[in-house]
Amino acid sequence: MITFVKHRINQCFLLLIAIALLSATQIPAQKPVVIGYVTGFNGLTNTTYIEAEKLTHINYAFVNIKNNKAYLENLKTDTVNFARLNALKLKNPSLQVLISIGGWAWSENFSDAVLTDSLRKGFAESAVQIIRKYKLDGVDIDWEYPGMPGEEGNIYRPEDKQNFTLMFEAIRKELNVLEKETGKKKLLTTATGGFASFLDKTEMGKASQYLDYINLMTYDYYPSKQAAHHTNLYDSKSYPSSNSADRAVRAYVEAGVPASKIVMGIAFYGRNSKLSPNAQKGIGDTVLVANSYGRGYTFTKDSLVNKKGFVEYKDEAAKAPFLFNASTKQFISYDNEWSVVHKCDYVLKHKLAGVMFWEYSSDNKGYLLNQITKSFK
């Protein structure tokens, strides 16, 4: 009788283990994040068209840096925008709203602001105070770029390499304090250069320990002399490629950044070039007038794709589209639904954290966001 009872107990124990293991294998993988940058530097943000249920995070661009502190340049409109963005949580309670500090035009003072321990502490406190005051969810740093030129006149120095990491450590400490106050997780993320040389000037492997997500700006690629993709997933065979999203991801992983923290960038806007009079095929032809920031995808899709002399082509190797007008010699590089499918598939295949895009209002009909949602369903 005792032997029988022991046998039954062992059977039950093994059954419980089997059920637990089966349950563990059925736990769904973490759904990819979808981070949308929403701008406020032009005034009040129209949030009525933002489909909050299709986003996991909104990064509000931008907060400036003045006197070595995070600074709301447009206080009146910024505060209204914070309230409007927080109100989107009525549609999506899990939505998280972060401030993004810096950007291309407001990165000039980063190097000075994080030069010493005391300066870093003051900067970190000022950044976290903003999200404390306005009940936001985290801080995103968009420093373009530590240790190298960004916009003309930006301050940069060799010490940026270590100070970049120490800045994140300081902000993380302040966020930990806020977490204890609120009982809620507070995020620290960064937007980084989607090119390998960015890794030479930073310690991304070391810095990643303080970060929740690393948003690779895998766009604005282009050589100055040839018509090229600005947001290609892979190398093109039509011109010598040195940059692609795939190259960036592999370089970051090799530098010690966990793939699970890497977020791939998608461009919701195009880049335009005027090509030489003898241009025949667009891609790879000689550029006459250098690349300029183009219109958003809604305009491109509705007004230009296979219209007004523009023909859309697909570069199968690069998984990137482009438009070429043989009469006017205009060339436009951009992301479309087809390229977004391939980027989302790449994220899933390589178990990256998700995707982010710049920026929401550039595709106000939601063509690309709808495709992202469909791909991650």
Question: Which position among 108, 144, 174, 312 bears the catalytic label?
Answer: 144
SS3 123: helix
Distance of CA 342 to the CA centre of its chain: 17
Amino acid at 40: G
Name the DSSP class of 225: S
Q: Is 268 exposed, middle or buried (0-12, 13-18, 19+ CB in 10 A)?
A: buried
Q: Which residue has the tokens 């972060």?
A: 98
Beta sheet of 287-296, edge-to-edge order: 287-296, 269-275, 330-333, 320-325, 310-315
- Nearest to residue 219, comparing CAs of 81, 352, 333, 102? 333
**169 tagged catalytic:** no
Cα 100 from Cα 159, distance rounded (Å) = 23
Cα 173 from Cα 150, distance rounded (Å) = 28
- Nearest to residue 335, comparing CAs of 315, 320, 348? 320
Q: Known catalytic residues?
A: 144
